[in-house]
Each structure stands twice: as C-alpha cells, then as structure tokens.
Amino acid sequence: MQDALPALVLNSEALPRTAMNDTPPTPAFPASPASDEHLMLAFSKGSAESFNELFLRYKQPIYGFFRRRTADPQHSEELSQETFLVLLRAASRYEPRALFRTYLYAIAFKILRAHRRKAAFRATFLGRPSTIPDPAKQDATESGLWVRRAVEKLDRIDREILLLREFEQLSYAEIADLLQLPLNTVRSRLFRARTALRNLLEPTAAPTSSDAVQLAEPTVPPTAAQSIPQKGIRL
C-alpha cells in the first residue's frame, strides 16, 4: 500500500496541477464529512483514497507554513513534499492522541528545524551565507512589505506563536502542544506579540507645520558680516 503512494506526493505528474501559494485555499469541492483523524486511521489501515483526501486538504496550508518561514519557494515545496513523505512512512504508527492537524504540523516543525540546522552548518563551516528572505519577492504590495518587516522584528517565540495563530489558525491548545509551552504562556505571549506588532505598524507622527517651517528655513543669528539675508535650505 505505502510503496505505491509516494508517487502521489513526489512525482510531479501525479500531483494536481494547482500552484502553491501561502494564502488559505478555497475548496473547489464539497468538504468530506470524514474528520481528519478518521481519514488518517483509514489510511493507516490501507485506504489510499483517505491519504489523497488529506493531501488535498493540507497541501496548501503546509506549503504556506514553510513559505512564511523560508526564503526560497523551491525550498518550501521540497519541505512540503518531505512532510507528506514522513506522514506516509509514519502511518502505521499513528495513534489519534491529538488532532491530526497538530500531528501534521509537528512533523513540519521537525523538518523546518532540520532545514535550519543544515543552513546554519553550511553558513558556518562551508562558508556559504545563509539565505536572507527577499520581501519584495514574497509580497509585492507596500502594505505587505510593511507587515512582514514588522513581524521579523518580534521576539522569535512571539513571532512563531503569532504566525501559528493568525496564519495557520491553530488553537491556543494546539500551539501550546506544538511549542511545548504552558497554555497561559501562549496566551500572554500572543497578546504581547499583537501589542508589539500594533506599535510597530503605527505610522510615525508627521511634523507639524511650524516644525516643517523651522526645518525648511533655520534661523541664523545676524552678524556684522551678513549683509545679504540667507535663504533657508529646503530639505
């Protein structure tokens, strides 16, 4: 059963021809009444159709997860494929102790950490600079760039909690489980992250008209040598 399934994930000819992006998908078909947990249990018992349904539900969210955390879209696709491959290999050991969504994002987190460790190793020992995200390629709108740059300034854990809540739309309990943090810590740090982001996004107060005049035409004390009035330097 599992020997034939990896082609569904790794073979580009077998993948549905829909471009991946980091926006929530709009279902083109009625949602299946089966829960994610039910589908995963069915897949662990040999149902390839159940895996196909899970893949359709989560391929875009998982790609978006990596796209918001890596610089290269190609890396995001590769890491997404690797996530589903790990899911395939671990199917026989799956136990519904938590929501399937939490289980899947936990796999994605492990793969992301491994990817970051490899990037750090290459940068430190092989002399290859770490790839720096290019915001212009990730979001072409001015407001999008503004938000991304503000998010990057947040504390690392606060930023991760904010992304998981606002983009992945995980519950507080799911975030606490994924990051191994107390539930109250998740709540307080999310509040802190939202407050910090709001402060970062507030526009800088514009100078008043009187301030602008002073900047445009600075007052120079008259001296005996000044026979011609000086014109202000306009900035």
Q: Which residues contact 60 (CB under 8 A, 6 or more apart)?
A: 20, 21, 23, 24, 25
Helix segments in the chain, DSSP class H: 6-10, 36-44, 48-67, 73-89, 100-125, 135-138, 142-152, 156-166, 172-179, 183-201, 209-216
pLDDT digits over 145-160, tens only? 667 788 888 899 999 9
Using an 8 Å Cβ cutoff, are 178 and 170 in contact?
A: yes
CATH code for the part of the protein at 1-130: 1.10.1740.10
What is residue 127's predicted lDDT score, i.e. its pLDDT?
A: 58
Amino acid at the residue 153: K
Query: Where do the structural domains in the chain lie, given as residue ranges?
Result: 1-130, 134-202
Q: Is 230 helix (H, G, I), strand (E, B) or coil?
A: coil
Q: Average of pLDDT values for 66-92?
A: 93
pLDDT digits over 105-124, tens only? 999 999 999 998 887 766 66
Using an 8 Å Cβ cutoff, are 129 and 123 in contact?
A: yes
CATH topology of domain 134-202: Arc Repressor Mutant, subunit A (1.10.10)
pLDDT, averaged across the chain: 74
Q: Is the pLDDT of residue 170 over 90?
A: yes
Burial class of residue 162 in the structure, from the number of CB atoms within 10 Å of its CB (0-12 exposed, 13-18 middle, 19+ buried): buried
Looking at per-residue pLDDT, the higher value among 165 and 31 belongs to 165
Using an 8 Å Cβ cutoff, are 122 and 128 in contact?
A: yes
Give the Cα separation of 152 and 139 in Å (integer): 14
Q: Do domains 1-130 and 134-202 have the same CATH topology?
A: no
Give the Cα separation of 23 and 25 in Å (integer): 6
Share of residues in the chain with pLDDT > 70 (%): 61
